């Protein structure tokens, strides 16, 4: 890599704080949209639980005997291109993270007209299903 581990971690931390990764992700989505690669016919949402012994976003896992853990929540287009991601404590219900995840999709430019923020449909498992979120997503996803 050409630098020490400490330098690499410091640069990673500094780039994260400066928003480099978010800007790079937004620029990549704009280029993919301009090339017609993004499939807006449906968005797919899912989450996964991972064990995490350290860090600020941890909580007792409901599936791993209350051991500390985190959850990654991800929304992709139909082809699997990540549109937004969030990290929460392992104890958070999936349904509480659906709307913040959808709102986390920034405006995707690259084509003439208003930037796209929503897909035509939303696909998710039962963990994200509730009457209140369905009413909130009706016509918005």
What are the sequence ranges of the domains in the chain? Answer: 5-137
Kindly report whether the global pTM for this prediction surpasses the value 0.85: no
Q: Is the dihedral of CA 141, 91, 125, 87 positive or negative?
A: positive
Angle between helices 5-18 and 20-34 (to 10 degrees): 70
Residues sharing a CB contact under 8 Å with residue 17, sequence separation 6 or more, in sequence order: none
Residues 87-115: pLDDT tens digits? 887 777 778 888 888 899 989 998 888 88
Per-residue confidence (pLDDT) for residue 63, from 0 to 100: 60
Q: How confident is the model at residue 141 (pLDDT cuts 50, 70, 90)?
A: very low
Per-residue confidence (pLDDT) for residue 58, from 0 to 100: 59
Taken as a whole, the chain contains a residue count of 141
Q: Which of 13-17, 118-122, 124-128, 132-136 has the lowest mean pLDDT?
A: 132-136
SS3 content of the chain, % helix, strand, coil (to 5): 35, 25, 40
Residues 2-18: pLDDT tens digits? 789 999 999 999 999 99
Residue 22 has pLDDT above 50, yes or no: yes
Residues 35-85: pLDDT tens digits? 999 999 999 998 887 776 666 665 665 566 666 778 888 999 999 999 999
Per-residue confidence (pLDDT) for residue 35, from 0 to 100: 95
């Amino acid at each position: 890599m050409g630098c020490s581990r400490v330098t690499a971690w410091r640069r990673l931390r500094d780039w994260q704080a400066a928003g480099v990764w978010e800007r790079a992700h937004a620029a990549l989505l704009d280029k993919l949209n301009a090339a017609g690669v993004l499939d807006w016919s449906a968005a797919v949402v899912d989450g996964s639980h991972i064990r995490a012994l350290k860090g600020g976003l941890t909580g007792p896992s409901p599936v791993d005997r209350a051991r500390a853990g985190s959850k990654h929540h991800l929304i992709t287009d139909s082809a699997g291109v990540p549109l937004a991601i969030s990290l929460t404590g392992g104890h958070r219900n999936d349904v509480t993270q659906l709307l913040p995840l959808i709102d986390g999709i920034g405006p995707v430019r690259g084509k003439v007209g208003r930037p796209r923020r929503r897909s035509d449909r939303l696909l998710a498992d039962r963990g994200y299903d509730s009457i209140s979120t369905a009413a909130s997503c009706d016509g918005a996803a």
